[in-house]
Amino acid sequence: MATTITEVPVFDLTREHFLRDMRRLAEKAAPAWLVKARAEGAANFADTVWPHSKMEEWRDTNIGALVDTEYYSMTTLPRHTLAAFDTSPHRIEGWINLVFVDGFFDAAISDTSDLPKGAVAGSLAAAIAGPAQDLVKRHLGSCLGARSAYTALNTAFIQDGPFLYVPQGVELDRPVHFLCIATERQENVVSHYRALLVLEAMAKATVAVTSVAMGAGENHFDNVVEEIVLGDGAALTHCAVIDAGTTGRRLCTTETRQGRDSRFDSYSITLGGAIVRNQMCVMLGEPGAETHLNGLYLNAAAALIDNNLHVTHAATNCTSRIAYKGVLDGASRSVFTGRVLVVRGAQKTDSMQLNNNLLLSDTARVESRPQLEIYADDVKCTHGSTVGPPPPEIVFYFRSRGVDEKTARGMLTYGFAEDLAGRIPDPALRRQLDGIIYRRFSPGING
């Protein structure tokens, strides 16, 4: 006997709350092109399944807890002010500090000091509503490939986030700092940050994006998509500092598209969070482009930190350098995937990739997957990966000089991590990060 099974659309509990908030967002006024872009995002979201561990990309990254949580989008909730929260330790001295609270720009506590003529730094929402609308329209969504259900979701909720525009040939003399703060809340809250950084030809800028959580970051989830467009000969130094507290969750996808002879220097520093995934995708689409991706993840307690890198060499004579370092303690887990793709015809590619992991605890777990996919023959591509404890011979050397083991291990760990923070060119940011790393490992050193 033959039976036919007809597919019945299942009422998906894990999606319904997002759909509900999408409907509420649709009630608000927005330009027609934005409504269309959001609708496309919503359609993609409907067609895409949640990431799961059977997908090669998400093989070791279990975000089941994230999928199963019912989140309220910040679209509909009352906004918080930061009266009780002192933002000064997170500000960077001498920079233009722009503060976002739960995904929305807060002009009252931001510097809106002058920028060179034609440059814009501020909020995406303001740019959409203001004279820069055409710029946003042209670039928004231009870098993003179909990555996952979460990036589609972000597109469906485009409202606000960091925005930077530097016109042709302009160099920003003061670096810009986007400080994104997650406030403490009773309900589970998701912020769909959408960032857009555009540097026209020969423009130059230094940008930092810091994400911090008030308290433990409980109930909070940041779903971030960041698009970076670099024109011919442009140079951007981009530092992302992530501290989502002990329980905060964050999925971030950064998509960068580089023009001819442009240079992208990225520093990604993850200090905390229960589930953090930083996906960094770089498209080297024009000859001579250069990208340097540096990363540091200090992983403790039961955190899961995933750094997922995609570098596509789609033109000749491009250079990529990847250096990611991790320190793992407690029952933490870290996943590193570095995928370098050299497409057919991308000759004279020069690519190096290194992932070093320092393992401090037996309950910690490291997964490292440096991958090469090469379709051109005149290339120089290498990758390397190491996992190990602080070297016992060096610990022994310290002890033979009268330094106890705990201090020796603390110093070695600090040295391992500081090496990466020390590469940041801006002294103010470097000092600030160095202080954070030192405090993290100083109990070992001082005590």
Q: Which residues bind other proteins (CB under 8 A)?
A: 56, 60, 344-345, 347, 357, 359-389
Place of tokens 């970051």: 217
Instruction: Report the nearest approach of other proteins to the CB of residue 58 (Å).
Output: 12
Q: How far is CA 229 from CA 139, 158, 236, 339, 355, in A?
A: 8, 18, 10, 21, 26
Reported residue count of the chain is 447
In the complex with other proteins, the residue whose CB is nearer, 87 or 347, is 347
In the complex with other proteins, the residue whose CB is nearer, 143 or 412, is 412
CB-facing half-sphere around the CA of 159: CA atoms within 13 A: 23
Q: Residue 407: count other Cβ atoms within 10 Å of its Cβ.
A: 16
Instruction: Report the nearest approach of other proteins to the CB of residue 392 (Å).
Output: 8
Instruction: Report the nearest approach of other proteins to the CB of residue 408 (Å).
Output: 15
In the complex with other proteins, the residue whose CB is nearer, 149 or 364, is 364
List the structure tokens of 419.
């090496």
Place of tokens 């609308």: 133
Place of tokens 């960068």: 256
In the complex with other proteins, the residue whose CB is nearer, 127 or 315, is 315
List the structure tokens of 103.
């995904």
Instruction: Report the nearest approach of other proteins to the CB of residue 374 (Å).
Output: 5
Cα separation of 323 and 423, whole Å? Answer: 11
In the complex with other proteins, the residue whose CB is nearer, 210 or 353, is 353
In the complex with other proteins, the residue whose CB is nearer, 201 or 376, is 376
In the complex with other proteins, the residue whose CB is nearer, 34 or 354, is 354
Instruction: Report the nearest approach of other proteins to the CB of residue 400 (Å).
Output: 20
In the complex with other proteins, the residue whose CB is nearer, 260 or 333, is 333
Instruction: Report the nearest approach of other proteins to the CB of residue 241 (Å).
Output: 26
SS (H, E, C) 411-438: HHHHHHHHHHHCCCCCHHHHHHHHHHHH
Annotate 257-295 with DSSP letters as a single string. Answer: EE-TT-EEEEEEEEEE-SEEEEEEEEEE-STT-EEEEEE
Instruction: Report the nearest approach of other proteins to the CB of residue 149 (Å).
Output: 20
Instruction: Report the nearest approach of other proteins to the CB of residue 335 (Å).
Output: 9
CB-facing half-sphere around the CA of 297: CA atoms within 13 A: 31
In the complex with other proteins, the residue whose CB is nearer, 389 or 422, is 389
Q: Residue 4: count other Cβ atoms within 10 Å of its Cβ.
A: 4
Place of tokens 């591509």: 381
Cα separation of 442 and 447, whole Å? Answer: 8
In the complex with other proteins, the residue whose CB is nearer, 69 or 316, is 316
Instruction: Report the nearest approach of other proteins to the CB of residue 145 (Å).
Output: 19
Instruction: Report the nearest approach of other proteins to the CB of residue 377 (Å).
Output: 4
Instruction: Report the nearest approach of other proteins to the CB of residue 49 (Å).
Output: 15
Annotate 34-102 with DSSP letters as a single string. Answer: HHHHHHHHHHHHHHSPPP-TTSGGGTT---HHHHTS--EETTTSPPP--TT---GGGS-TTSEEEEEET
Q: How far is CA 426 from CA 11, 95, 239, 252, 430, in A?
A: 51, 10, 10, 24, 6
Instruction: Report the nearest approach of other proteins to the CB of residue 380 (Å).
Output: 6
Q: Please, are residues 383 and 372 in contact by the beta-carbon 8 Å criterion? A: yes
| β pairing state of 96-101 and 104-105 | antiparallel
In the complex with other proteins, the residue whose CB is nearer, 240 or 298, is 298
Please name the helix (run of DSSP H) or strand (run of DSSP E) that holds residue 232, with its range, or none: none
Residue 222's nearest CA partner among 188, 253, 193, 265 is 193
Q: How far apart are the first and last CA of the chain?
A: 76
In the complex with other proteins, the residue whose CB is nearer, 174 or 348, is 348
Q: How far is CA 21 from CA 75, 77, 169, 332, in A?
A: 7, 10, 42, 33
